[in-house]
Structure formats: C-alpha cells, structure tokens
Structure 1
Amino acid sequence: MMDYLNYVFFGNTVFEYIILLVYIILGVIAGKILKKVVEKYVKKLAGKTKTIWDDVLVDALELPLMIVVFAVFFRYGMLNLNLSPYLITLVNEGVNVVYILALLIFTIKFVDDLFVYWIIPRAEKSESKLDDQIIPPVRKLVKLVLIIGGLLLMLANLEVDISALLAGVGIGGLAVALASQDTLENFLGGLIIISDKTFLIHDWIKWNGGEGVVEEVGIRSTKVRTFGDTIITVPNGDLVKTEVENYSARRKRQVKSTVGVTYGTSPEKMVEAKEIIKDILDEHHGVVDPIRVSFTEFGNFSLNIRVEYFVREFGFDYFLTTVDEVNTKIMTKFGEAGIDFAFPTQTLHLRNDEEVLNINIQDKN
C-alpha cells in the first residue's frame, strides 16, 4: 500500500494528489459550514437591526465568501505539489481571477439589492411614473457595465494587453457598428421614448402592430401586455418610427349614440325628448362638456336623436358605470313622459277590392 502511495505521476506522488483532494474536500466543507453560519446566525442578527444595509451586505457576501474560501483551499492544495514555475504562475493567476469573479458577484448582487430594497420602493411611492420607467433600463445598464468592467479586470490580471485589445476592437469597430445597427437604433429609441414621455409604464397604447398596456420599457425593447393577457415585445426603434396612440393620456372619454323614437312622436314630444336627455347629461357628475343632443335623421323606422357627450377619465369601469346610469335614466324618463322607443318595424297595406275580385271570378267561369 505504501509503495502505491509513492508512485510518481507527472512529477508528484499519489499521496501528494490525495493531499490535494483533501484540500479540495476541506474547501467544500468549509464553504458549506460558512453558509450555515451566515444563514443561522449572521442573517438573524442583521434582521434584528433597523437598517436594511446590513441585510443587503450579508446577502451579497454569502456566495462570494464561499467561492473565496474554496479558492484559498484549492490554491494551497495545488502549491503543495511539485509544479513548474509556469504552472505555479498559472495557478496564482487563476485563483486571482476567481477572487475577481467573487468580487464581481458581490458587487452585482449588492447593487441589484440596492435597487430592490431602496431605489424601487421610493420610486413606487412617488407620484411620477417617469422614475418607474427609467429604473428598469438603468438597472440593466449598470449590471452590463459592471460585468464588462469585471471582465476587463480579469484580462488585466491574466496580463492580457487591454490597450491592444481595445485597439483591435477599434479596428473592427466599423464592422461591429454595422452589425449592431439595429441594437443601437433600439437603444436610442428607448432613450427617445423615455425623454419625450411618449408613454409611461401602465399606459394603454395602440400602434400599427397591436394594442395593450405597457409593462416595461427596456434598453432594446418595450414589453406590452395585450388584452388577451399575452406579452408583445416590440423593438423600441419600431415604436419611434410608427404612430403611437396613447389612450391613457386622454382627459375624458367620448360617447356617441343614437336614440330612436317612433314616427308617431309629435314635434312637441320630440322637443321634450331632447330636453330630457340634456337635463340627464347636465345633472350627471361624471359627464363633462361638450354635450350635443340633436334631432338629426329620419331613419327607416325611427326618428333619430344624435347624442354626444364626454365622461371624466377615472378609468374604464367608471366610464361604463356612467354610460349605464345615463342610459337607464333616459329609459325611465321616456317611459314617464310617454315617449316610445322605435324598433325595426314594417307596415303592410292590404286592399280589399271587391270589383277586381268579381272580375277575376267571371273570367274563370
């Protein structure tokens, strides 16, 4: 058995590889123990304080600390082997990259929790919808910047010439710009939508491609919830180039309807019918000017009164309730005044001509 442990593979004995495996196992165990300690004790202590910052800090540190602890054990396990100077340098640089990765994970998690626990709740309390619209794309953009910065730091640690890399990017910049033309167009479109306040989160909009309620304005696209409860993802560039109708921006909703009364209605009753409708609209608290009530048409089976008015913009349910109340009152008042509503009718005139009938009988005889 001892002879087997002394076998040499790639310059190291089996025993030395077992020691490396022990370090790796110890690193995993130490990481799990640290996680248990954080969850059972540290998080509970942080939860008892009045501030949320310690909760955010502990939550962001949990995973990076586990990665760092494992990397430390792995590094010492590897350095106990007989390695060439090149491999020693490679191990050190690799572990340093892991440290940077842990730092990047911590930073991204901390900044994201900052949005979740501090920035977004304050935006929800404000009356303006603009901050609700700006926060999602800014949140994504901050993450993207952090990731790019972390990758550049890793490359620098690996002694990659970043300046030469950036120069290479500059040489191929034209090709990249042409390839990403749509992405740039959509990004600029998003900035135009936000700055011009074309529409805001929760606005009801209609454009050439559909209709729905805006749920998110992102860096590249806008997500719209349709009335069929599906999500449409629309490139921002398309929304900037097309005509967008914002229903939520209106201050009142228009109602146009026709009230038909029978042809037996006298001119006096027609005047009374119009006055009844005007009084109902004037007295209703949900109705606003302009109000127009006019006898406009001799229909096929009715005398038609055109009714036009507007309802205060307090939501669609309020609109439906107002129209319902107005129509119900018109029915009630017309019934009290003896004014009849028209419905599709047809009058058939029959002629009893006895002379024609007798002639037809004589012809048959």
Structure 2
Amino acid sequence: MSLNTKRLLFFFLLWLALLIKPEALTAQLLGTSKSATEEPAKVPEDSLGRRTPQGTVNGFIKAIGDQNYLRASQYFVLSKRSYRKTAERIRIAKTFQQLLDQGGNLSPSSIISNKETGRTDDDLATGVDHVGSITTSKTAIQLYVENQSDDSQPALWLFSAETVESILSADVSKAKTFLDRILPTVLKERKLGNVPIGHWTVVVVMTVLSYLLARLLVFLIGLLVQKLWKKAATEQGTAIIEALTLPVHMYLTVLLFVAFTQRMGISIIVRQRFGIIIITIGILAFLILLWRMTDFVSMYARSRMSRSGRISAISAILFLSRTTKAAIVVIGIIALLGIIGVDVTAGLAALGIGGIALALGAQKTIENFVGSVSLIADQPLRVGDYCRVDDIKGTVESIGMRSTTLRTSARTIVTIPNGQLSASKIENFTHRDRFIFNPIFNFRMETSPDQMRYLLVELRSLLYAHPAINNSNPIVRFTGITADALKVEVTAYIEAINVETSQEVQEDILLRMMDIIEQSGTSLAYPSQTLYMTRHIPPSTEKSDAISETIKKWKENNELQLPKFDPKRVEELKDTLKYPNDGSYRPNEE
C-alpha cells in the first residue's frame, strides 16, 4: 500500500470517528451496555392508592362513602375462596363499616404513615401498621394494615388477614346504633355526601352541646379551684386561671365531641372527615396554652425584677418572651401544615440551613445577647454601680441587650459590648462592705523612742475608740527607718454605706491623728528631695519631757500597750469618741 493511500485511509477513519457521538464511542470502548445508562423504570401507580397505609385507609373510606362495597373489599387480605364470591366480599365490607359506625375509630389521615415502608418507629413488625380499633359491648378488634409485597415488588398495603378474620367473627346482625333507633326514617334515608342527613344534624347538635357542657365544666372547676386553692384570689393565681381557661375549654370540647359521636354511632365517614379538625383544635389549644404561659412567666419575672430593682433585666425578659412566641408560631405552622398533609421535611431542612446562615451572620449579635443574659444572671454589676472594667472606671448608666454604658469621672460615656463585658475582669466598688484605711506616716528623724511609743499607743487607741472603724483589730506598726524618716503604717477598715461616707470618716480620723502627732511633740518628715524654706522651730522640749514622763508611768504601772493592747483596755476604748465631733453639723439630731 502506497504512502498516499495510507494517508487517505487515516483521514477517512478520523472523519468517521468525529461523526460518532463521544458518549457512544466511550460506551463502545468501555463495553457499557445501553440499559446501564437508562433511568430505571418508574413503579406504576396503584389505581386504588394502596401503596401506603394512609392511601389504603383513605381509599377504603372513599369506597364505602360511595357505597361501592365491591371496591372497598379490595383493601382486604382475602382468601381465594372469599375473593371469588362477590356477595361475601360485599358482606365483609358492610360488616366492617357497621362495626366502625357502632364503636370503631380510625386514626386521622394525617397521623397514618404516608410512606411505602410504613411506620418504622413503633413496636410492630416491619410492614405492619396499626390504624385504629373497634370497641363495642361484645367486640374488641385492633385494626392493622400489612404490606403484602416483598422488596422486589411495589408496596401493596391491605387490611391484614387477622383483622378480616376478627371482622367475620363479629356478630352484628342485631346490633343497632343509638342513632338508628332514634332517628326517623326520613333522616336516615335522605343523604348528603353519602351520609344520612340525620347524622350531619346530630354532629351540629353535638358540637354545640359539647361546647356548652365544656364551658359549664370549666366554670365548675374554676369555682372548685377558688375554694380549695388559697392563692386563687391573688394576682398570680388569677393570671394562671385565666391562662388555663381557654385551652382547657377547647380540650374538653374536643374530648366530649369525640366521646359523644363515637358512642351515638355517627358514621365513620363523618368522623374521619372531622379527624383533621379535631387534631387541629387540639394543637391550637396547646399553642394557646404555651402562648399564655409565656405571657404569665414574662409578667411574673418582670414584676420580680422591678421589685428587686433589676431594671436592666426587664429588656432581656421581653426579648426572651418575644423569641419564645416567635418559636411557638413557627412550631404551630409546621405542625398544622403536617396535619393537613403538607410535607414539611424540605421546609425544615431549608429552615435549618437558613438558621445556620443567620447564626453565622449574626454571630456578634448572638454573642452580645448571650453576654447580656450572663450579666443579668450573675449580676456582677447593676445600674448605678461604680466599677472598673479592665482599665475603665465609671458608673453604670444602662445595661441593654447589646451593650452596657459607663459614665466616667470625666463625664464621658463609654459603650462596651456585652459579649466583651462578660469576658472582662469587672471590679465593683459599690458593693464593698467596708473601706480600707491605710495611711503611711513618715516622722522626723529627731523623734525619740518614747515619742514613737506614745504615737503607736495613741493612734491605735484612736482606731479602737472610733465608732466607724471595724471591730477587727486595727494595725499600727513602726515598720522601718528610711534615709530621712521613721515609717509608721496604719491599716484599718471603715464601716460605711458608700464612698462619700467613708471619705468623711477618713477625714475625721486623719484630723484626730494630726492632733495626736502635734500633741506628741514631733512632726511629719518632708521628702529629702524637697527643699522646704521655713523658719526653724526647734522641737518642744516641754512636750517631749511630758511624753517621756507619760511613758515612764505606763511602764511603772504595766500599762504600756505595746506590742499588744490589753483586751480590757480595748473594751474600755470602744465607741468612746464622739463622731461627728462637737460643733459639727448633725442632720439626724435636727
């Protein structure tokens, strides 16, 4: 074969490959069969809706409502012999309807599983669901539906063979319902929606009667509670009773209606249609109860906070109350949509994703809210407290849901986010039970030992005698000799209700200590680095001699209160000073 011929053959094969679809080429190369890429065939729908337990029950109710008992029999597991006999199939369907009318109860449609697998969270075997019961004076039957197909076939749910057998063994030949005995023939023969008009009339009458009877029972229960409960007349008791009245009334109405209609023999068709309404009323009653209890708890908490002066907590309580109410509304909507048959799974998933996105976007806001809740719960500070947060000192002016404001001594406002505040070191000066008094005196080097002994005794005597000093032992110690002074350190605690009062007491004690220092004949030393120009006043020799004589007498009489004070002397000194001093303004006496 020539070179040109080979080239022509090559280009022809390349052109042919381009014409073939890539998917087909890949399939041919990999040996993939055509059936593998095709979508699996859809399962054909059952014309009677028996793919789920809910569809089976609804289809059966519709069939007996249309009085098509032959079709209704197709929802039963029947033996081959019974299935061949049309009359037998019709008899079984009519018997089942009669038993349901006499005292049967099917679960509401929204509660029955709408999945082909049925319920998997109950104690029953896989492929078996409980859908109701029949209870009469002679009969007690549990109603089950069972999946008749295996895993390789589409689901087919039918009333189980055990249920059908129990229906066949029941004797209903002479049994008549209460309505069958009292209703006139006209109301039983004339029908509306394949149900006798008399049944609809009785349903309306029973609704009104159940409402009125429930109202009477609520009134009687209220009177009984007011007589037996001592706090019923209080504001809180009244609020609790009002919160419970409407939900209890709704629950009693539903319970009475269900009991009356089932005992009187109302058609199962009517009762099944009212099932969703009954459950909806029950859910609404529960939601109303949660709503009113939220209002009561919020009102009670706000009154408690107001009485205790915790005004900042009221905003948090209101926020929590509104959040709880919003959650109640959302939960109620989801529950009601589920009752009427709307699949809320996708909505819940979207809500969860949206909640995560919202939480990520509002991370700081949530952090500040959690911080505000922590501040309200722990109460490290309150409005009006003077405190220090890290390096900031100021008076708390407000505690909000997002931030807290402090007014500093420079009259500026500092706003601190609550998330940051809850993680900071908070030093609260307002709630101190006592104030430290800790002056340090530096006396002149010329101070004699007897003068120092006199100062130590008299300064401590002053602290013992002052009524505003805490009873714990005050400390007055000669702590050292520096290059230019003799050092005496005083430590005591002032009993005062606030900073201003403590400063008044401190001022009084310092003035009295200055009198003692002046009386001792010595004086305070000045720092050596300060040049103090003044006329030289020599120490008073008369005062120094007098002090020495006083110390000598204390020693002779064993009354020198150093290094410790005699407890008897301490008791004699306690509260012997007048505070305020004579001549001071005393508003209490006026």
TM-score by length of 2: 0.34
Matches within 5 A, 1:301-312: 301-312=484-495
Structure with higher RCO (Cα < 8 A, 6+ apart): 1
Pick aligned residue for 1:277 from 436, 459, 473: 459
- Within the candidate set 330, 342, 355, 2:513 is matched to 330
Higher helix share: 1
| CA-CA distance at 1:259 after TM superposition | 1.1
Counterpart of 1:174 in structure 2: which amino acid?
A: I
- 1:149 deviates by 9.9
**Larger displacement relative to structure 2 (205-214 or 132-141):** 132-141
Map of 2:158 onto structure 1: none
Question: Which residue number in structure 1 is paired with residue 316 of structure 2?
Answer: 137
Q: Give 3-state SS (helix, strand or coil) of 1:249's partner.
A: coil
3-state DSSP class of the match of 1:277?
A: helix
- Report the secondary structure of 2:406's partner residue: strand
**Is it true that 1:292 corresponds to 2:471 in the alignment?**
no
Which AA in structure 2 matches 1:245?
E
Are 1:173 and 2:355 matched, yes or no?
yes
1:220 aligns with 2:402: yes
For residues 434 and 480 of structure 2, what CA distance do their matches in structure 1 show? 27
Where do 5+ consecutive residues of structure 2 fail to align?
Answer: 1-294, 330-341, 530-590
Q: How many residues align?
A: 225
For 1:139 and 1:232, locate their aligned partners in 2 and report how far apart those are by CA, in whole Å: 25
Counterpart Cα distance in 1 of 2:391 and 2:455: 43
Deviation at 1:264, TM superposition (A): 1.2
Residue 494 of structure 2 aligns to a residue in which SS? strand
| Distance in 2 separating the partners of 1:179 and 1:203 | 34
2:496 equivalent to 1:313: yes
The CA deviation string for residues 254-299 of structure 1, in whole angstroms up to 9 with x for no partner, is 1222112211111111010111111111111221134111111212
Alignment of 1:113-124 (within 5 A): none
- The amino acid of 1:342's aligned partner reads A
Query: How many angstroms does 1:238 deviate by?
Result: 0.9
Is contact 2:305–2:313 with CA below 8 Å preserved after alignment?
Answer: no
Decide whether aligned partners of structure 1 residues 147 and 231 sit closer, same or farther in structure 2, where only a CA change above 3 A counts: farther
Distance (Å, rounded) in 1 between the aligned partners of 2:496 and 2:444: 34
Distance 2:507 2:391 in 1: 32
Q: TM (normalized to structure 1)? A: 0.53
Give, in whole Å, the separation in 2 of the partners of 1:207 and 1:149. 38
Tell me whether 1:247 sits opposite 2:429 in the alignment: yes
Quote the Cα distance in structure 1 between the aligned partners of 2:424 and 2:353: 35
C-alpha deviation, 1:250, in angstroms: 2.0
Provide closer, same or farther for how the CA distance between residues 123 and 194 of structure 1 changes in structure 2, counting only shifts above 3 A: closer
Deviations 1:225-261 (A, max 9, x none): 2222222221111122222112223211112221122
C-alpha distance in 2 between matches for 1:240 and 1:247 = 17
Contact 1:290 1:310 in 2 (8 A): no
1:256 aligns with 2:438: yes
Cα contact 2:476–2:490 (8 A) shared by 1: yes
Q: Secondary structure at the match of 1:185?
A: helix
* CA shift for structure 1 position 206: 1.3
- Cα 1:224/1:344, change in 2 over 3 Å: closer
Residues 191, 121 of structure 1: CA spacing in aligned structure 2 closer, same or farther, 3 A cutoff? closer
Quick check: 1:136–1:216 contact (8 Å CA) kept in 2?
Answer: no
Q: Tell me what 1:194 maps to.
A: 376
Q: What runs of 5+ residues in structure 1 fail to find an aligned partner?
A: 1-110, 151-160, 347-365
CA distance in 2, matches of 1:266, 1:226: 47
- The separation in 2 between residues aligned to 1:201 and 1:337, in whole angstroms, is 48
Change (3 A) 1:191 1:119: closer
Q: 1:235 aligns with which of 417, 429, 440?
A: 417
- Mapping 1:49-60, distance limit 5 Å: none
Q: Give yes or no for the alignment of 1:341 onto 2:547.
A: no
Deviates more, 1:216-225 or 1:317-326: 216-225
Residue type at the aligned position of 1:138: I
Distance 1:343 1:236, change over 3 A: same
* 1:169 Cα deviation after fit: 4.0
Deviations 1:195-248 (A, max 9, x none): 122222222221225221222222222222222222222111112222211222
SS at the partner of 2:358? helix
In the TM superposition, residue 339 of structure 1 has moved relative to its aligned partner by: 2.5
Q: Percent same amino acid among aligned pairs?
A: 27
SS at match of 2:497: coil
Structure 1 residues 261, 246: closer, same or farther in 2, change over 3 A? same
Whether the aligned pair in 2 keeps the contact of 1:137 and 1:217 (CA below 8 Å) is no
Give the root-mean-square deviation of aligned CA atoms: 3.7
Partner of 2:386: 204
